[in-house]
Amino acid sequence: MTVLLGAYAARSCPVKTHHAYDSTIERTSWEPDESLAELFEGGLEFETHILDTFAASLDGTLADLRPLREQSLAARTDACLQAMRTGVEVILGGWLPVDLAGQRTGSPDALVRGIDQIDGTPRYHPVEVKWHKIIERRGLKRSQSSTPPLAYTTLASPRPLPTLVVEGYGVRVASREPDLIQLAHYHRMLAAAGFATVDHAAAAIIGTDDVLRQAVLAWVDLAEPLVRTFSRSQPGGWRLRSLLERYDHEHAFRIDVAVAAQRRRAAGGGTGQADVDRPPLVRPIVTRECGRCQWWERCLPLLDPEDVSLRIDKGPLDVREIAALRRLGVGTLTELASADLDQLLVAYLPEVTHRSGAESRLKVACRRARMLLRGDPFERETSGRIEVPAAEVEIDFDIETSAQGRVYLWGFLLHESGGSPEARYVEFSRFAELDSSAELSLAREALTWLRGLVDSPRSIRVYHYSEYEVVAMRALAARVDDPLLSWAADYAETEFVDLLEIVKAHFFGASGLGLKVVATKAAGFAWRDDDPGGLNSQSWFTEAVHGENAELRAAARRRVLAYNEDDVIATSRVREWLRAC
């Protein structure tokens, strides 16, 4: 069977490619859990919305090929080729011709026409829609570096002829490298079909950013050296490579992985017995992908229960770091915890020069390994009493957001000295699909209540865990000119107490210092829900709004409110625990 890889192969774990081509591996019947399904569906909804808006906004010619997705591959490919040959400015949902020589197949979200090639052939650039932010703010030091500033075009005029530029912002190359590698896959396919060249290797992503108050195409030159990678030949052990170079390396490796996997099929004869003389080219290493991967149930039995990548899930070492440790005979918690770090680092550091701070990362991982083996979730790093600001009225605060990022629930736990010994839960919610106006209206309702307490003669403190709430309030205030929202954003910046910052100042956590970890393992709190979590709450919100009947919707609303109430109770318990330390 010919190996043909899609655009996600090079950006994803190579073990997926192995399993897909190794017939000795039993197929899975995996389906994503409800929180992951909601995440996927939300991304698809966002993509559909953006592409629909793109089509409606465009001031040029358009070929929307999305309605052809149920037709044959030949029909979809022919339609895309015809649109490119005629020079349509934007093509949505086009299926590129299979690249047999490059062993590639794929369909970008959009294609945008650029500067024609020397012979007059239209040139096209791939565009992907992603349900996350792609633009970052850059400080003065980074703005003066070789990293290019943000280059963008609009949905109305998307062609990069040329792009518009905004100083002080840029594309998140490091954290969004997988997205950019996916675009490199499409660029190679366009080049194979005669519609792209390396000298104009631009590609764009449309993310959820609102930096420019509208959806924009953020452009990146795939041929520009932007990515720090390992290089044994360089004096410093690393060099900058282009995204095309990164993609070519990863794609070629996965071709090798697939071919080796097919040989196992031939050797095993399809009987399920793998040929021991043909081991896989790759072994599972736990990454963030694993939690949403169809092959996880096949990979888990292949891992040692103490595998470092499996057990250390906070500040985890990356794939190359884990692979380097394994080559040096360090694969489990016990092996890492008992290693002579000074001796290990001599051999280890030259293999991980792609990472800055590799030595400190390994030392932290070793510390976590020792704590996990001892069963110690936390280590105190200071001595003496921990100071937590107090007040006559103490309020624990937490918000909940929908999959679209709208704040639909403001939850408060009110403790009043001299009053009832029982804390009182106060919530402001809208179980409906909120638009910007409705979200702001709910925020005003909640913050009017809070302002009334702050303006009373009693002293007030508001406690939260992490900066999420403050960032959300700041974003709401930036959206409109509203005195109440501006007051709330300023008040939160100066008067709110972030308990996470206090915890971080005094403790180190083997599994991190998130609220769920600290509240359960340190403060002894237990959530009523069997599966509490932010992603899960988003799926419950969807059920509360769109459930099939009133009973299901009411049950989901109760579940969300109980979860939010438990979050603020957990925050108060952490506060009590800190004061008792």
Give the pLDDT score at 292: 85
Collapsed DSSP state (helix, strand, coil) of residue 385: coil
**Cβ distance 205 to 171 under 8 Å?**
yes
Give the pLDDT score at 537: 86
- Mean pLDDT value of segment 551-561: 96
> What does the DSSP 8-state code read for residue 115?
S
pLDDT at residue 31 above 70? no
Q: Where are the alpha helices (DSSP H) in 22-152?
A: 34-57, 73-85, 140-143
For the chain, give every domain's residue range: 35-227, 304-376, 393-580
Among 167-171, 439-443, 531-535, whose mean pLDDT is lowest? Answer: 531-535
Say what percent of the chain tops pLDDT 90: 77
Give the pLDDT score at 276: 46
- Mean pLDDT value of segment 66-85: 96
Give the pLDDT score at 420: 62
The CA distance from 410 to 550, in Å, is 23
pLDDT at residue 318 above 90? yes
Count of helix runs (H) and strand runs (E) in the chain? 19, 19
What does pTM read for this prediction? 0.84
The label of the residue with tokens 């030091």 reads: 141
**Cβ distance 510 to 378 under 8 Å?**
yes
Query: CB pairs under 8 A, 24+ apart, for 222-225?
Result: 222/180, 222/183, 222/184, 222/187, 222/247, 223/198, 223/199, 224/148
Q: Which CATH number fits domain 393-580: 3.30.420.10, 3.40.50.10420, 3.30.470.20, 3.40.50.11540?
A: 3.30.420.10
Render 127-169 in DSSP notation, one character per residue: EEE-SS--EEE--HHHHTSSSPPEEEEESSS-S-SS-EEETTE
Give the pLDDT score at 87: 96
Among 20-24, 109-113, 224-228, 266-270, whose mean pLDDT is lowest? Answer: 266-270
Give the pLDDT score at 534: 74
The CA distance from 74 to 93, in Å, is 14
Q: How far is CA 241 from CA 14, 22, 158, 181, 201, in A?
A: 20, 32, 27, 12, 14
Rg of the chain in Å (alpha carbons): 27
Band (pLDDT 50/70/90 cuts) for residue 421 is confident
- Mean pLDDT value of segment 125-134: 94
- Mean pLDDT value of segment 369-378: 97
pLDDT at residue 365 above 90? yes
* Of residues 346, 488, 327, the one with CA closest to residue 407: 488
Give the pLDDT score at 270: 47
Say what percent of the chain tops pLDDT 70: 94
- Mean pLDDT value of segment 347-356: 93
The label of the residue with tokens 């499409």 reads: 186
